[in-house]
Amino acid sequence: NRNYAISVIPGDGIGKEVMPEGIRVLERAASLYGFTIEQTWQDFACCDYYAKHGQMMPDDWKAQIGNPDAIFFGAVGWPDTVPDHISLWGSLLQFRREYDQYVNLRPVRLMPGVPCPLVGREPGDIDFWVVRENTEGEYSSVGGKMFPGTPREVVIQETVMTRHGTDRVLRYAFELAATRDRKHVTSATKSNGIAITMPWWDERVEEMAKNYPTVTHDKYHIDILTAQFVLNPDRFDVVVASNLFGDILSDLGPACTGTIGVAPSGNINPDRTAPSLFEPVHGSAPDIAGKGIANPVGQIWSAAMMLEHLGEADAAAAIMRAVETVLAQPGLRTGDLKGKANTEQCGKAIADAL
């Protein structure tokens, strides 16, 4: 059955502008590769919805979304009207948890046409994956305040890691590494400073590694690991990290390859007990929203990741070839990459290159 039910959630800001281009490319790919996409658009998980309803999503959002094959997401957040922690915890972070999308998967790849801020790096030199734990860890809602509003104020937030939650993301990382040429896993830790959770994380990595004799592994403390991303990005193959460390590394990685404007991500439930969600790494970008100039490549690359997940590997690969072709041409890139195209022109060019 190659008819895919996709829940489409554009969200806020430039999410609403890049989504149509993601859909354009998806539809073109469907007609070329002989599958169909059945879209259901949702108007919630955005700050406009919050303005009308006082919450980011309806109470029955799960029922409304139903059981699609995947969720195609834009970006959420509009801090001028809704504080970020409210908009995010009321939408994206809920999806990740409630749908048990326990892997956040992001490629770090130097693409043609994207100027690299690092000296002497060429497309092909940098090509690795960040595998981020996506449901627990530092992103907990456990904690609170004592003596609030007084000079004695104490604020506590707990990091909660479970063996269940840790082992499964480590397993995903080692499995992924096993399919790659270099077969190497790098673990992000901070066991010298964060002295309860992180030494334990290191132990779990060692345990898991025993199951993968063909995969090599090492670890770096997060501080020096960020330095290594800048100094030796060619060293990495699969980097596995906790929720917060993975968040940091998966913005820093794309920055080291030129821009987070083109980077995609998958929020993946590998057990397929609930839908996975695909979204660009960039946010809603209030500063450029409404101008039609946002770079649609992050959304389009996310479409490719989604198709890969759905089993349409040929279509996914074709989209990536089209993206590379278009990025290589200044007339077809958007302004953030010193190109001349607007969002729609760039999206159309990629659809045509397909």
Ligand X SMILES: CC(C)[C@H](C(=O)O)[C@@H](O)C(=O)O
Site for a copy of itself in 215-244 (CB under 8 A): 221-224, 226-228, 230-231, 243-244
Q: Which of 32, 196, 313, 317 binds a copy of itself (CB under 8 A)?
A: 196
The whole-angstrom distance between residue 223's C-alpha and the CA centroid of its chain comes to: 21
Residue closer to ligand X by CB (options 128, 278) is 278
Going by C-alpha positions, the residue among 11, 273, 229, 274 that lies closest to residue 130 is 229
Rule CB under 8 A: say whether 340 interacts with a copy of itself.
no
CA atoms within 13 A on the CB side of 296: 34
Tokens 């409630």: give the residue: 98
Residue closer to ligand X by CB (options 4, 50) is 50
Tokens coding 167: 């082992």
Q: Which of 42, 159, 187, 267 binds a copy of itself (CB under 8 A)?
A: 159
CA distances from 100 to 14, 70, 169, 240, 259 (A): 26, 13, 12, 18, 29
Residue closer to ligand X by CB (options 130, 354) is 130
Residue 152 binding result from ligand X, a copy of itself, none, given CB thresholds of 5 to 8 Å by partner type: a copy of itself
Tokens 């057990």: give the residue: 271
Q: Which of 27, 39, 86, 88 binds ligand X (CB under 6 A)?
A: 88
CA distances from 329 to 122, 239, 293 (A): 17, 31, 17
Integer Cα distance of 130 and 270 in angstroms: 15
Amino acid at 49: Y
CB of 107 to a copy of itself, least distance (A): 15
# of chain residues touching ligand X (CB under 6 A): 6
Tokens coding 44: 């919630």
Residue 197 binding result from ligand X, a copy of itself, none, given CB thresholds of 5 to 8 Å by partner type: a copy of itself
CB of 233 to a copy of itself, least distance (A): 10
Rule CB under 6 A: say whether 133 interacts with ligand X.
no
Going by C-alpha positions, the residue among 218, 232, 225 that lies closest to residue 183 is 218
Rule CB under 8 A: say whether 32 interacts with a copy of itself.
no
CB of 243 to a copy of itself, least distance (A): 8
Phi-psi sector, 129: left (phi>0), alpha (psi -120 to 50), beta: beta
Q: Which of 83, 115, 124, 193 binds ligand X (CB under 6 A)?
A: 193
Rule CB under 6 A: say whether 153 interacts with ligand X.
no
CB of 310 to a copy of itself, least distance (A): 28
CB of 341 to ligand X, least distance (A): 26
Q: Which of 248, 268, 310, 322 binds a copy of itself (CB under 8 A)?
A: 248
Integer Cα distance of 32 and 92 in angstroms: 31
Integer Cα distance of 351 and 154 in angstroms: 54
Integer Cα distance of 228 and 351 in angstroms: 36
Tell me, residue by residue from 116 to 135, as one string, x for binding to a copy of itself by CB under 8 A and - for no binding: xxxx----------------
Rule CB under 6 A: say whether 192 interacts with ligand X.
yes
- DSSP 3-state assignment of 112? coil
Rg (CA), the chain: 20
Q: Which of 31, 64, 141, 211 binds a copy of itself (CB under 8 A)?
A: 141
Integer Cα distance of 62 and 137 in angstroms: 24
- The residue ranges that bind a copy of itself (CB under 8 A) are 77, 83-85, 87-89, 93, 115-119, 138-139, 141, 143-145, 150-164, 190-200, 221-224, 226-228, 230-231, 243-244, 247-248, 250-252, 254-256, 259-260
Q: Give me the residues that bind ligand X (CB under 6 A), please.
A: 88, 93, 192-193, 223, 247
